[in-house]
Amino acid sequence: MSEDDLRDQVQDLAEDQRSRPDNDYPIRIRGLTNAFGDFVVHDEVDLDVRHGEILGVVGGSGTGKSVLMRSVIGLQIPQSGNIEVFGQDIIEAEPDEVIGVRDRWGVLFQGGALFSTLTVAENVQVPLKQFYPELSQELLDEIARYKTVLTGLPEDAASKFPSELSGGMKKRAGLARALALDPELLFLDEPTAGLDPIGAAKFDALLRELTDTLGLTVFLITHDLDTLYAICDRVAVLADKKVIAVGTIPELLETDHQWIQEYFNGPRSRAAAASYERSQDDGKALDKPRGGKA
Ligand SMILES: Nc1ncnc2c1ncn2[C@@H]1O[C@H](COP(=O)(O)OP(=O)(O)OP(=O)(O)O)[C@@H](O)[C@H]1O
């Protein structure tokens, strides 16, 4: 397939995704309560994720960001509440009812979670083989090669094992696998953790570009303040067992919650904001205003 054909196919796909009626809010969470024994992690959490946005999810360590993500993708059965993904109730539904929703999302777990005994291409092919067992090996190889290059890896990375890759390359390989099924929704758990600042900024830029080009919606757990300023459209804050606020960073700063004030007015956040402003002035920033702008 030529590069032009691939680009046309990607644009058609993005157009098709935008026009689906259940896509205004691909994720709707209502009254979600999660507990481990007596320990309550979430108490009646509500959250909507808008189509086409990168939603940053922040909160102190142990506030339940990963548990929230695991709940949405069906890996954590909540005590109560309702979660709809693309209009489908994913808690109550039978497994075969959810299968048509599961292949519309991709996940990059903390640390990448690549299979160490498989090459990058074989890792990318895992979800393809699971959902489309009828695909020929030739097509699987072509898709894996395309996804590898799409995430900025050199083509020869496809035949490498995770142990042969740098940290940044592993993240890209994990992203390639998350994109294997042409998902509309992407879940990322701390994708820039452990990357140097230059590698992290490049990963952020790649994520923003893919989100806009492919028409993705992204649920992004992060502690990385630069990421929040540079690419997130809105930020959801987990504290006190709830999502206490959702909005752009300037909107969040208007709230008087102590954790939000300390987090976004702390020295690290101010440095990230200043760096973001400088990159805007230099014309280096991505063209659309992000969470850092009102
Ligand atoms: N399977 C489990 N069994 C018992 N407790 C759990 C389990 N999974 C998570 N927890 C607890 O739930 C709480 C929230 O965990 P979670 O991993 O979601 O936090 P987090 O906000 O993602 O933290 P971090 O920023 O440190 O990654 C923690 O106190 C954790 O110990």
Q: Return the exposure string of 182-219: e unless at least 16 CB atoms fall within 10 Å of the residue's CB, then b.
A: bbbbbbbbbbbeebeeebbbbbbbbbbebbeebbbbbb
Summarize the chain as % helix, strand, coil (round to 5).
45, 20, 35
User: Are 187 and 267 members of one domain?
Assistant: yes
Could you give the 3-state DSSP secondary structure of residue 214? Answer: helix
Question: What is the pLDDT at residue 270?
Answer: 75
Strands ordered across the beta sheet of 39-49: 39-49, 27-36, 80-85, 88-89
Non-local CB neighbours of 209 within 8 Å, separated by 6+ positions: 286
> Taking 70 as the threshold, does the pLDDT of residue 33 lie above it?
yes
| CA–centroid distance, residue 224 to ligand 1 (Å) | 18
Q: Which residues pair with 188 in a beta bridge?
A: 108, 220
> Taking 80 as the threshold, does the pLDDT of residue 68 lie above it?
yes
Q: Which domain holds residue 165?
A: 110-181
Looking at residue 45, which CATH number applies to its domain?
Answer: 3.40.50.300
Q: What length is written for the chain?
A: 294
Rounded CA separation 113/128 (Å): 17
User: Are 38 and 98 members of one domain?
Assistant: yes
- Which of 33, 38, 65, 69 maximizes ligand 1 atoms within 8 Å of its Cβ, making it the mutation to test the pocket? 65
Q: Bigger pLDDT: 194 or 242?
A: 242
Where on the phi/psi map is residue 174: left (φ > 0), alpha (ψ -120 to 50), or beta? alpha
Nearest CA to ligand 1 atom 30: 62
Could you give the 3-state DSSP secondary structure of residue 205? Answer: helix
Which amino acid is residue 61, in one-letter code? S
User: Are 89 and 118 members of one domain?
Assistant: no
Nearest CA to ligand 1 atom 3: 36
What radius of gyration do the chain's Cα atoms show? 19
In the listed set 181, 205, 227, which residue is the last one of a domain according to the structure? 181
Question: What is the pLDDT at residue 13?
Answer: 56
Ligand 1 pocket list (CB less than 6 A): 36, 41, 59, 61-67
Question: Is the residue at 51 inside a domain?
Answer: yes
Where on the phi/psi map is residue 86: left (φ > 0), alpha (ψ -120 to 50), or beta? left
User: Are 174 and 268 members of one domain?
Assistant: no
Q: Bigger pLDDT: 12 or 189?
A: 189
Nearest CA to ligand 1 atom 6: 36
ipTM value of the model? Answer: 0.98
In the listed set 181, 216, 232, which residue is the last one of a domain according to the structure? 181
Count of C-beta atoms within a 10 Å radius of residue 75: 12
Give the pLDDT band of residue 294 (cuts 50, 70, 90).
Answer: very low
Question: Is the residue at 14 inside a domain?
Answer: no
Q: Which of 149, 210, 207 is nearest to 1 (CA)?
A: 149
Question: Is the residue at 220 inside a domain?
Answer: yes
User: Are 219 and 156 members of one domain?
Assistant: no
User: Are 98 and 199 members of one domain?
Assistant: yes
Question: What is the pLDDT at residue 269?
Answer: 74
Q: Which two tokens stand for residue 103?
A: 């292949």
DSSP state of 189: E
User: Are 176 and 269 members of one domain?
Assistant: no
Mind listing the pLDDT tens digit for each residue in 217-271?
999 999 888 899 999 999 999 999 999 999 999 999 999 899 999 898 877 777 7
Question: What is the pLDDT at residue 280?
Answer: 75
Contact present, 36 and 101 (Cβ < 8 Å): no
Q: Which two tokens stand for residue 263?
A: 């987090």
> Taking 50 as the threshold, does the pLDDT of residue 125 lie above it?
yes
What percent of the chain has pLDDT above 90?
62
Could you give the 3-state DSSP secondary structure of residue 130? Answer: helix
User: Are 95 and 188 members of one domain?
Assistant: yes
User: Are 123 and 268 members of one domain?
Assistant: no
User: Are 92 and 228 members of one domain?
Assistant: yes
User: Are 142 and 211 members of one domain?
Assistant: no
Q: Which of 229, 224, 213 is nearest to 294 (CA)?
A: 229
Q: Which two tokens stand for residue 123?
A: 């890792």
Q: Counting atoms of ligand 1 from 1, which one is nearest the CA of 190?
A: 27
Give the pLDDT band of residue 274 (cuts 50, 70, 90).
Answer: confident
| CA–centroid distance, residue 61 to ligand 1 (Å) | 8
Q: Which of 259, 238, 252 is nearest to 294 (CA)?
A: 252
Question: Is the residue at 251 inside a domain?
Answer: yes
Q: What is the mean pLDDT of the chain?
A: 87
Please provide residue 179's backbone torsions phi and psi, each rounded to the nearest 5 degrees. Answer: -95, 0
In the listed set 181, 208, 224, which residue is the last one of a domain according to the structure? 181
Number of domains the chain contains: 2
Question: Is the residue at 215 inside a domain?
Answer: yes
User: Are 190 and 100 members of one domain?
Assistant: yes
